[in-house]
Amino acid sequence: MPFEEAAPTRGVDLPIVVLGPLGGVEYWASDRRPLLLDCRLAVALHEIGPILRGHGVVRARFSGAYVLRTTRSGRPSRHARGLAIDVHDLATVDATFSVKQHFARNTPCAPDAPVLNRVACDLSSTQLFRELLTPDYDRDHHDHFHLAIADDPAPSGS
Ligand SMILES: [Zn+2]
């Protein structure tokens, strides 16, 4: 994947800036901020590329990955370590699906569920993410998917 090492970033073990598509999906932010995150999260996003592409997704709009903040309960957010990303829209070549408008709350995983629900189901089944929060979680997540990896992923394979 195209990236460069980022300057030392408070709280982030392995900070990088992603410079191109991850797993065939371009991540972009409305405010044009760079995609700065821990490289382990970048690897996870790379790995889910085929799932997103399988749903026709070529672009993903995020609001923040690395963000210095705490959770509402006061514990450090995984965003503050570059281990989380908030994704608001997924776009195919001819349509944009926003979590706010197109995710159907409290809908079971099924082949006829809306595309964003099927994406969330598929992402969940990978078990790559420690936190995969959707509008079903709480009001704070009514308009985005929060994807976060574990602080110390277990070694893969065994
Ligand atoms: Zn988040």
Q: What is the pLDDT of residue 141?
A: 94
Interval between CA 86 and ligand 1 midpoint (Å): 5
Distance between Cα 9 and ligand 1 center (Å): 18
Task: Give the distance (Å) from ligand 1 centre to CA of residue 128.
Answer: 16
Ligand 1 centroid–CA 139 distance in Å is: 12
Beta strand spans in 30-110 (E):
35-38, 59-64, 84-91, 96-98
Q: Rounded to whole angstroms, how far apart are CA atoms 71 and 138? A: 13
The least confident of 48-57, 104-113, 146-155 is 146-155
Q: Who's near 151: CB < 8 A, 6+ residues apart?
A: 78, 81, 83
For ligand 1, the distance from its centroid to the CA atom of residue 133, given in whole angstroms, is 8
Expressed in angstroms and rounded, the spacing between residue 158 Cα and the centre of ligand 1 is 31
| pLDDT per position as a tens digit, 65-123 | 998 888 888 877 899 999 999 999 999 999 999 999 999 999 999 999 999 999 999 99
Please state, rounded to an integer, the average pLDDT across all residues of the chain: 93
- What is the pTM assigned to this prediction? 0.92
Residues across the chain: 158
